[in-house]
Amino acid sequence: VVGPIVEELLFRVFIQSALLKATGRTWPAILSTSILFTAAHIGGGVRPEDAQALVPLFILSLCLGVAYERTGRMWVPITMHMLFNAANVAVALMM
């Protein structure tokens, strides 16, 4: 529960918003933030040899960034992130 809140505050509210303010362009801010989000998961949650796992994280991050920009509410990407994590835990438990 805490991870998605902290990550979304950091990546969407602070980094993405700062990049949007600096560039004035939505997609470069979302793409740059998504690259940083994905890179932050290397080693912490994804081993380098499991690089294929980074693709869904990057896509998730793009969706989270778009959701934040469209709604302007931080709880939207936080909820999406929590649901993504819960789905991954459920799949892992079923295996």
Report the C-alpha gap between 16 and 70 in whole angstroms.
13
Q: How many CB atoms lie within 10 A of CB 79?
A: 14
Q: Can you give the pTM of this predicted structure?
A: 0.89
Residue 49 has pLDDT above 70, yes or no: no
Mean pLDDT of 46-59: 80
Examine the pLDDT at 44 and tell me if it is beyond 70. no
Q: Check residue 47 and report its DSSP letter.
A: -
In the predicted structure, residue 32 carries a pLDDT above the cut 90: yes
Residue 31 structure tokens: 């793409």
- At residue 47, does pLDDT exceed 80? no
